[in-house]
Amino acid sequence: MTVVARIDHAAAASRSGLQLRPTLVLVFGNPAAGTPLMEAVPTLAIDLPLRALVWRSDDGRTWLACNDPAWMADRHGIAGRKDGIGKILEKMRASLAAAAAEATGADPSA
């Protein structure tokens, strides 16, 4: 997966004279996986490329959140499809879980 954009909300807030704890959105994806999905279901383009939110809580802990591709399948009415779309989403889900686990040091099976 390639990071295509990095949105630093705290920096934007600072430029406006406001304060915000560190809050970052990473936009990333793999055109080889995303393009067939969007060809089959054009509405998926609203959720692709993938995004991850990284923020620091008041207690100083860093958190990571992202949308589960299974949620995207439900959202776009493609859950249970028998064509290759469901398989691509499952691979995307596994890749996302592995990347999140690597970034956080968490167990990807948890």
Tens digit of pLDDT for each residue in 1-11?
Answer: 899 999 999 99
Amino acid at 8: D
What is the predicted pLDDT for the residue at 110? 58
For the whole model, what pTM was predicted?
0.83
- Quick one: pLDDT band at residue 64, thresholds 50, 70, 90? very high
What is the predicted pLDDT for the residue at 39? 92
Burial tier of 44 (Cβ tally within 10 Å: 0-12, 13-18, 19+): buried
Amino acid at 71: W
What is the mean predicted confidence (pLDDT) over 81-98? 85
What is the mean predicted confidence (pLDDT) over 39-68? 94
The answer to whether 70 and 79 have CB atoms below 8 angstroms apart is yes
For residue 48, what are its two tokens? 């692709």
In 10 A of CB 38, how many CB atoms?
Answer: 15
